[in-house]
A and B are shown apart, each in its own frame.
Chain A
Amino acid sequence: MIHFFEILNKKYIVDVNSGIVHEVDDLVYDIIKEDAYKNRDNLSKIYKNYDKKIVDESIDELKSLEEKELLYTKEKHIVPKIKPTLKSMCLNIAHDCNFLCEYCFASKGNFGGKKELMSYETGKKAFDYLVQNSKGRKNLEVDFFGGEPLMNFQVVKDLVEYGRKIEKKHNKNFRFTITTNGMLLNEDNIDYINKNFHNVVLSLDGRKSVNDNMRKDRANKGTYDKIVPKFKNLVDKRGDKDYFIRGTFTRENLDFTQDVKNIKNLGFDIISMEPVVTEEKNFFSIKKEHVETVKKEYEKLCQYYIDKKNEGDGFNFFHFEIDLDGGPCIYKKISGCGAGNEYVAVTPSGDIYPCHQFVGEEKFIIGNVETGITEKEIPNSMYKSNITTKDKCRDCWAKYFCGGGCHANAYNFNRSFKIPYEVGCEFEKKRIECAIRIKSEE
């Protein structure tokens, strides 16, 4: 299987089954587009526009690549090798929030339930469960999530300390991350986070008007002016450690390149900007009719990324950072997101869900920190829904870059883990094309 595309005045062929990407000239692109390589009867169309000698030369180049298994490579049957072993946990440390974001999938922080903070005891049990059920894995990830995790920061600190204590005993390495809206950041917790957290995800949507349209405090006031200085302080003091400014774009700002520019101009250079995923009835939802606009916008963002890089002032955009030569192995590529198996979410009351996106939907409770995971059917069903078993993924050129998409999105839109969320697929494919375009500048 191959995929050919053009973007920002350059043309490419992706050999799907080898992962090899070729930048090609107009002639080779036309040969492939007109199906004149595999079907030589179609060459007559090509000969009308190009010199025969050069066409034949191009055909020879394509032939040479095919012989080396760099083009039209046949699909190989890969048996999943990575055992579904738990290694990663989203700890919903606070089902409460000091913001009232319009698009919040967590129903303004409480996930549709009561406001609740996780106790130290529950958190400890979650850590113990993770350590005991991660046989064969050294690196364990815990993301302190909410709601707003800074609303329960003493427990966060106590749990980090507990994790450091037990990791040596069990030969594990905890990597802590925290996702925060920033409102409660101060000098003390900034220093603590920068010292102890492997990564920190800071939520900011971009331009003040855009951010404040969605991200409001409990008094329904915009939050941009309050949080930006705090984020700048944290990042300035963070040194070389990882962080992300993580924004969400909605139907209200389909020109989200302007928001990435705003974030970049504030001095941040590690950025993620995600499309909102929500019910279509919401005024800010992104629907099929917006797909082409968003795809064009990704191209604008891609051009901006290239321009900044060429100016010597580049930045990192999460979805454009694809390492074509050093990325994940094929087994990772076919195992997907790992929800319910490698990754679970734990609520303040100790319930275990397959991932944070399902929290609040009781039928997706798969266990709790006392009993462990007792409901195996949902995790098994997720494990079996991967790019080798999902019809739409199997035939998709982007499958080895994407990994099959989000189980929660698939379920919420199609009531099946086996049918991916189509709008998300279109965005993902476009982002991969942009990432390839960026790679070819190197």
Chain B
Amino acid sequence: MKHIKQLNNKNIMKNIANKGCGECQTSCQSACKTSCTVGNQKCENN
């Protein structure tokens, strides 16, 4: 493509059958303690 550069490939709605194990870190239990951001959490299953 000349005009558009796709930055990532992971469609968050696809290949989710084996996801949702719940082992990931609780969002607030890291560095913030005053806000919630799930986007920067790591997946334990990747």
Name the distance in Å between A291's Cβ and chain B's nearest Cβ: 15
Beta-carbon contact of B3 and A319 below 8 Å: no
Q: Chain B at the A interface: mostly helix, strand, loop or mixed?
A: loop
Beta-carbon contact of A326 and B46 below 8 Å: yes
Q: Which residues of B contact A175 (CB under 8 A)?
A: 25
- Distance A137 CA – B23 CA, assembled complex (angstroms): 6
Beta-carbon contact of B2 and A402 below 8 Å: no
How many interface residues does B have (CB within 8 Å)? 42
Taking A73-B11, A199-B30 as given, write out 9 further A-B residue pairs in contact, using a Cβ cutoff of 8 Å, ordered by the A residue number.
A20-B9, A21-B8, A23-B7, A61-B3, A139-B23, A325-B8, A339-B28, A400-B12, A427-B35
Which of A77-85, A187-195, A365-373 is found at the contact surface with chain B? A77-85
Which of A116-124, A258-266, A300-308, A329-337 is found at the contact surface with chain B? A329-337
The one of A90, A139, A325, A342 that contacts B9, using a Cβ cutoff of 8 Å: A325
The one of A19, A272, A276, A406 that contacts B12, using a Cβ cutoff of 8 Å: A19
In the complex, A7 has a CB within 8 A of chain B: no
In the complex, A112 has a CB within 8 A of chain B: no
Q: Which residues of A contact B25 (CB under 8 A)?
A: 88, 139, 141, 175
Name the distance in Å between A262's Cβ and chain B's nearest Cβ: 18
In the complex, A324 has a CB within 8 A of chain B: yes
Which residue of chain A has the shortest Cβ distance to B12 in the bound complex? A19
Q: Which residues of A contact B5 (CB under 8 A)?
A: 22-24, 440
Which residue of chain A has the shortest Cβ distance to B8 in the bound complex? A324
In the complex, A404 has a CB within 8 A of chain B: yes
Q: Chain A at the B interface: mostly helix, strand, loop or mixed?
A: mixed
Beta-carbon contact of B4 and A22 below 8 Å: yes
- Distance A321 CA – B30 CA, assembled complex (angstroms): 13
In the complex, A143 has a CB within 8 A of chain B: yes
Q: Which one of B4, B26, B32, B40 has the greatest number of beta carbons of chain A within 10 Å?
A: B26
How many interface residues does A have (CB within 8 Å)? 91
A328 in contact with B39 given A339-B28, A406-B34 (CB within 8 Å): yes
Beta-carbon contact of A138 and B23 below 8 Å: yes
The one of B10, B21, B44, B45 that contacts A324, using a Cβ cutoff of 8 Å: B10
Which of A62-70, A94-102, A148-156, A160-168 is found at the contact surface with chain B? A62-70
- Distance A275 CA – B28 CA, assembled complex (angstroms): 15
Q: Which residues of B contact A113 (CB under 8 A)?
A: none
18 A-B residue pairs with CB within 8 Å: A19-B13, A20-B9, A58-B3, A61-B2, A73-B13, A201-B31, A274-B34, A318-B40, A327-B42, A328-B42, A329-B19, A330-B20, A342-B26, A343-B29, A400-B12, A402-B39, A427-B35, A435-B40
Q: Which residues of B contact A64 (CB under 8 A)?
A: 1
Name the distance in Å between B19's Cβ and chain A's nearest Cβ: 4
In the complex, A177 has a CB within 8 A of chain B: yes
Beta-carbon contact of A70 and B10 below 8 Å: no
Q: Which residues of A contact B12 (CB under 8 A)?
A: 18-19, 329-330, 333, 400
Beta-carbon contact of A402 and B36 below 8 Å: yes
Q: Which residues of B contact A327 (CB under 8 A)?
A: 10, 38-43
Name the distance in Å between B22's Cβ and chain A's nearest Cβ: 4
- Distance A61 CA – B1 CA, assembled complex (angstroms): 7
Q: Could you give, for residues 195-237 of chain A, a 1 whenever the CB lies within 8 Å of some chain B CB and a 0 otherwise?
A: 0000101000000000000000000000000000000000000
